[in-house]
Structure 1
Amino acid sequence: MSAEPSVRVEDKLFYNRYLVDAGRAHIKVRPHSKPSPELLALLKACPARCYELNNQGQVEIAVDGCIECGTCRVIGEASGDIEWSYPRGGYGVLFKFG
């Protein structure tokens, strides 16, 4: 019996391409002085790791690389911590299976 090779999510995300809509991010983190538990959860829940803490302890997002899975929409939009919309036509993720 042979073991299946392990596959990391990061290795598969490499195949995707993302067309950035400069100046029109489809996800925005609302201004905050201290991150809510929901924002902190996004640091670990986002499969593309688009969320991170900056030097001031605030959560930021880099939308280039977002796979538009909806995880942040479920966690952050309901709490009012993020604004989420679909990218404009022709922008966003382009899935390539490899």
Structure 2
Amino acid sequence: MKPLPRVNLDDKIFTLKYYVDEDYAHLRIRDEAVCQRCPTRPCLSFCPAGVYRLDRSGGITVSYQACVECGSCRVACPYANIEWSYPRGGFGVAYKFG
């Protein structure tokens, strides 16, 4: 049996279309101090779209505009420190194939 070809996640994410709501962030970090104490910071590695990144001061920047709405960050945070909801109607990610 022939193995399946590898899929590059970045290539797939590139095909998505986003309708960004500039007035309402549908996800955010509840308490930055909790993130500072977290030794593993799983949100930096679990998000397939790379929404969470370390900034120069060691804090976490949330680029909600690139969220693919999978909810993995909410599940992966051991402290339930991520507030996640679906974007308001008409906003968010639009998948090419449904």
TM-score category of the 2 structures, normalised to the smaller one: 0.7 to 0.9
Alignment gaps of 5+ in structure 1: none
Alignment gaps of 5+ in structure 2: none
What letter corresponds to residue 28 of structure 1 in structure 2? R
Q: How many pairs were matched up?
A: 95
Tell me the equivalent position of 2:26.
26
Instruction: Report the RMSD for the aligned CA atoms in angstroms.
Output: 2.0
3-state SS, counterpart of residue 10 of structure 1? helix
**Per-residue deviation at 1:80?**
3.3
CA contact (8 A) 1:19 1:93 kept: yes
Q: Aligned partners of 1:81 and 1:74: how far apart in 2?
A: 10
TM-score, length-normalised on structure 1?
0.83
Tell me the equivalent position of 1:6.
6
TM-score, length-normalised on structure 2?
0.83
Tell me the equivalent position of 1:17.
17
For residues 11-65 of structure 1, the C-alpha deviation after alignment (integer angstroms, 9 at most, x for no partner) is 0111111111002010011242415246x11111100111000111011210111
3-state SS, counterpart of residue 25 of structure 2? coil
How does 1:10-89 map onto structure 2 within 5 Å? Answer: 10-33=10-33, 34-37=36-39, 40-76=41-77, 79-89=79-89
CA contact (8 A) 2:16 2:95 kept: yes
CA contact (8 A) 1:17 1:65 kept: no
CA contact (8 A) 1:73 1:84 kept: yes
